[in-house]
Amino acid sequence: MRYMLSLTAVLLATALPLMSLQAAPLEAMPAVQSRNATQATMLDAVWAGERVVAVGDHGVVLLSDDHGKRFHQASSVPLSTPLTGVSFVDAKRGWAVGHWGAILSTMDGGESWQIQRLSSAEDRPLFAVHFFNAQQGVAVGLWSLVLTTEDGGKTWTEQPLQAPPGAKRADLNLMGLFADSRGTLYATAEHGQVLHSEDHGKSWRYLDTGYEGTLWSGAVLADGSLLLGGQRGTLLHGSASEQGFRRLPTQSKGSVTSVVVAGPKVLAVGLDGLMLQSSDGGHSFQEKQSADGVSLTEALFNADGAPVLFSRRGVIPYQE
């Protein structure tokens, strides 16, 4: 029996069995306004202009207009299911994805959201979304699910994916998305696989890193090379154009959930409070833990180069 181990499940230390494709139809319920919204498990965050937008469990969307010092909950989110990925192309236009194959869109910087897609008869979660511009976007998720849009999300097309080398079918869970400055899109996946696409997600090639575990996250460094984060403190450095990835030494066994880059500054965060910081473009790292060891799920750099952190317990209090 196969098991889907989503990031939400990892954070809760629970293996969730795969939902039956004949599950009871979903009745969409809006996210509840809560005084404790900033303590919800947050799973992804991005900049929307000068605003931080973070998404997480129970359909919670948090917004900050002071570089992460204070957050408020979005006023209208039509779903209360987990939201696992978010992408913005400017200060107003953005998209979020999550369980039940949900895709939401916003035109007001994340204050209010509308449903673009919802697969109410099957829970085939989407784990990540990336938009190149206001029209072209890609979302990925369970069992090699790849969706693309050319009209800003009004319609989504499922793209067939060829099986990885040596496999009979494409059934990897695709966990994260990130892109380089040329528009090459990368998807991190299970079994040490990274997929990359040159045509906005319509076709993909596999990049085998030599690692056998799940790769949760990744980013493109300032020199164009890739930094990938995986299970049990795995941090891989390499290139799509060259053979071989090298594993960077880490002491922690916490899975790396997010990698962010701002010029020469690089930060990788993960479970059990893992924090790996580099000031030389990712060539070397200093390792430490968050103050209370809480599992970190996402990170951003603010305009001053300070980290804005998110966790399974919500927003990490801002530190000057």
The distance from CA 261 to its chain's CA centroid, rounded to whole angstroms, is: 15
| C-alpha dist (Å) from residue 154 to 76, 103, 110, 191, 280 | 20, 10, 18, 33, 42
Average pLDDT over residues 195-217: 95
Q: What CA–CA distances, in Å, run from 197 to 6, 27, 109, 187, 282? A: 23, 35, 28, 9, 24
| Rounded average pLDDT over 192-215 | 94
Paired tokens of 235: 């941090």
User: What pLDDT does 318 receive?
Assistant: 58
H/E element, 11: helix 7-11
Look-up of token digits 């959930």: 257
Q: Sort strands 296-301 and 235-238 into parallel, antiparallel or unpaired.
A: unpaired
The count of residues in the chain is 320
Q: What is the pLDDT of residues 298-313, one digit of tens each?
A: 999 998 889 999 999 9
| Residue 24 pLDDT | 57
The pLDDT mean for the chain works out to 89
Which has more pLDDT, 241 or 192? 192
- Using one digit for the tens of pLDDT, what is the confidence trace for 118-149? 997 777 899 999 999 999 999 999 999 999 99
Looking at domain 223-320, does it have CATH number 2.40.128?
yes
Between 80-89, 178-187, 290-299, the lowest mean confidence (pLDDT) is in: 290-299
82 has pLDDT over 60: yes
* Alpha carbon distance 138, 155 (integer Å): 12
The average pLDDT across 103-116 equals 98
Burial bucket for residue 275 (CB in 10 Å: 0-12, 13-18, 19+): buried
Average pLDDT of the residues in 57-61: 97
Domain boundaries in the chain?
223-320
For residues 213 and 255, is the Cβ–Cβ distance under 8 A? no
8 pLDDT exceeds 50?
no
Average pLDDT over residues 229-239: 94
Q: Which residue has the tokens 């924090």?
A: 275
The most confident of 24-28, 103-107, 117-121, by mean pLDDT: 103-107
- In degrees and rounded to multiples of 5, residue 263 shows phi and psi of 65, -125
| Residue 17 contacts residue 5 (beta carbons within 8 Å) | no
